[in-house]
Amino acid sequence: MSATVTVRIPEALREFTEGKHELTVEAGSIADVMAGLKADGYPSLIRHVCNHEGQLRPFVNVYLGERDIRTLEGFRTRLAQGDVVTILPSVAGG
């Protein structure tokens, strides 16, 4: 089953979304979100979020609400209508 979800994009990744801070995707899981974003014309965003094997990059976090998907079911995490997914790259500095 598919649901309409909002994907929040932080400033650091907006160059890959034509400056958009939120995108809407029809998806039943986090994997569907990634596939939907790629199909909707944002393959560069997905290349920065996932490695060449399709796995989440170590320094990128994806949240469903306030929960890291790594503590849920990863890309298999199921979504419901109105859920909010946030893609958040780690920021390092000193």
pTM over 0.75: yes
Give the residue-averaged pLDDT of 11-38: 97
Residue range(s) defining the domain that contains residue 41: 3-89
Span 41-73, pLDDT tens digits: 999 999 999 999 999 999 999 999 999 999 999
Any idea what the CATH number is for the domain that residue 49 is in? Answer: 3.10.20.30
Per-residue tokens: 82: 């109105």
**pLDDT at 93 exceeding the cut of 70:** no
Give the residue-averaged pLDDT of 62-86: 97
Split at pLDDT 50, 70, 90, the class of 27 is very high
Q: Half-sphere exposure of 94 toward its Cβ, with a 13 Å CA cutoff?
A: 0
Domains in the chain: how many in total?
1
SS3 (DSSP) at 11: helix
End-to-end CA separation in angstroms for the chain: 45
